Structure 1
Amino acid sequence: MRVVIAEDNVLLSTGLELLLRRAGCHVAAVAGDAPGFLTAVREHRPDVTIVDVRLPPSFRDEGIRAALEARRELPGLPVLVLSQYVEQQYAAELLSSTGGGVGYLLKDRVSRVDEFVDALRRVAAGGTAMDPEVIAQLVHRAGDPVAALTPREREVLGLMAQGCDNNAIASRLVITANAVHKHIGNIFAKLGLAVTDSGHRRVLAVLAYLNGPVRGTGAGSAGVSGR
């Protein structure tokens, strides 16, 4: 798995490079700013990218803007965003971009090496990896539609957004897979989303709905791939 990293903090970027290499990944390039990241992506065509939201010179949104630009140039490019804090606007914008795997993790998750590498592989495969804290804030922001969900349905929605499949959700909540299936059906019904295929398409559809309609797409598809 070829990885391109955009991170200006040398200590963190070095740590990421070391842990990824130990996990058997090939770090093709490490960039400290947005232009360097875009150049590296064009040159190496990585399997997945890791991008800090805030990069030089202004340390505002250069990283997420570069990630979105890279996805426009290379449709389906998987992007795992790292952030010090939950940046709701940027999380929503990334989720609303079309195609490919997406992830949004807080930087303190990197210290949980196995979980971090698993999340990166999931994003590289076209899936999702959302930090539980990000999900909690997005759900809180969503308002009335999510208020209709039961506490258990909210739990299921949160685990879906983290990339868990039905069996994993069942195991985490100590319920049957059939019960999970019913909860997911209820979630889609209450949010007004058509049940399409299984997998990560539904996760992105739900998240896109929670953050408002995606321009140019319907809420039920969110413009994502069928993975």
Structure 2
Amino acid sequence: MRIVIAEDNVLLSEGLKLLLGTRGHEVVAVAEDAPTFAAAVRAHSPDLAVVDVRLPPDFRDEGIHAAIAARRAHPGLPILVLSQYVEQDYAGELLSDGQGGVGYLLKDRVGRVSEFVDALNRVVDGGTVMDPEVVRQLLTRRPADPLESLTAREREVLALMAEGRDNGEIAERLFVTTNAVHKHIGNIFTKLGLVHTDTGHRRVRAVLAYLERR
């Protein structure tokens, strides 16, 4: 896959280039600020963008603003936010278009290269991959009304869905059968009003239904 990186830390960006290159991917551009990132996306039409939240000049939320703008300008562009911080005010907005192809991982919590590469692939394939800490912080900002109708087990299933886990992985994590997971997910869809005729990806929209509630 062809990747654009928005990261001002030279050691990290060069390390990502080397890592991704050894996995058969091509980093077509590295941007150190938001305007350069926007230009690189326009020029290269990448398969994926990896973006830090905080970029020059102010190192506040320039990166996630740039990611949101890139998704608007290039609908469906897969974006993986890779940061030390959870930018709560804008992370939900990045996720809110319902198209999937979005990830949000915390640098200090990426424990294995294989898991990181798997996250990249899931995002490019249209999935939603989120660090559990990101999910926790975003969900605690939403009112309790959509959560009140779910059981504790259904909340656990939804959190794992938000991490991008498939039914088999969720079953393994929770020590239940895949049939039980399928039933829980069906209950979640029903309680959130996500019917079979919904045009979006219901797994993605189930997660977004929570993250969009402030």
Provide the residue aligned with 1:186 in structure 2.
Answer: 187
Matches of 1:210 and 1:42, distance apart in 2: 32
Whole-angstrom distance in 1 between the partners of 2:139 and 2:28: 36
Q: Tell me how far apart the structure 2 counterparts of residues 73 and 145 of structure 1 sit (CA, whole Å).
A: 31
Residue 80 of structure 2 is aligned to residue 68 of structure 1: no
- Kindly report the root-mean-square deviation, in angstroms, between the aligned alpha carbons of the 2 structures: 2.1
| Corresponding letter in the other structure for 2:57 | P
How far off is 1:33 after superposition? 0.5
Shift, 1:176, TM fit:
1.2
Q: Is the 8 A contact 1:83 1:107 kept in 2?
A: yes
Structure 1: gaps (5+ residues): 214-227
Kindly state the Cα deviation for residue 54 of structure 1 after the two structures are TM-superposed: 1.1
TM-score normalised to structure 2 length: 0.91
Match of 2:25 in 1: 25
Shift of 1:75: 1.4
User: Is residue 204 from structure 1 mapped to residue 187 from structure 2 by the alignment?
Assistant: no
Residues 59-106 of structure 1: per-residue CA shift (max 9 Å, x gap)? 122111111221222211100012212222222011113535001111
**TM-score normalised over the length of structure 1:** 0.86
Q: Cα offset for 1:111? A: 4.5
In the superposition, relative to structure 1, how do residues 212 and 70 fare at CA in structure 2: closer, same or farther (>3 Å)?
closer
Q: Structure 1: which amino acid aligns with 2:116? A: F
- Range with bigger deviation, 5-14 or 136-145: 136-145
Specify the alignment match of 2:157 in structure 1.
Answer: 156
Q: Is this contact kept in 2: 1:2–1:46, CA < 8 A? A: yes
In the alignment, which residue of structure 2 is the partner of 1:57? 57
Q: Indicate if the aligned counterparts of 1:68 and 1:97 stay in contact, CA closer than 8 A.
A: no
CA contact (8 A) 1:95 1:204 kept: no
Whether contact under 8 Å (1:196, 1:202) holds in the other structure is no
Tell me if the contact between 2:64 and 2:91 (Cα under 8 Å) persists in the aligned partners: no
Which residue is equivalent to 1:170?
171
Question: Does the CA contact (< 8 Å) of 1:80 and 1:102 recur in 2?
Answer: yes
- Residue type at the aligned position of 2:207: L
How far is the alpha carbon of 1:36 from its aligned partner? 0.9
Give 1:9's aligned amino acid.
Answer: N
Q: Runs of 4+ in structure 1 displaced over 4 angstroms?
A: 195-198
Equivalent residue runs for 1:128-167 within 5 Å: 128-142=128-142, 143-167=144-168
Query: Percent identity between the aligned chains?
Result: 66
* Worse-superposed segment, 132-141 or 27-36: 132-141
Equivalent residue pairs, number: 213
Moved more, 12-21 or 142-151: 142-151
Q: Distance in 1 between the 2:127 and 2:70 partners?
A: 18
Query: Contact between 1:139 and 1:146, CA under 8 Å: does it hold in 2?
Result: no
Q: Name stretches of at least 5 consecutive residues in structure 2 with no aligned partner.
A: none
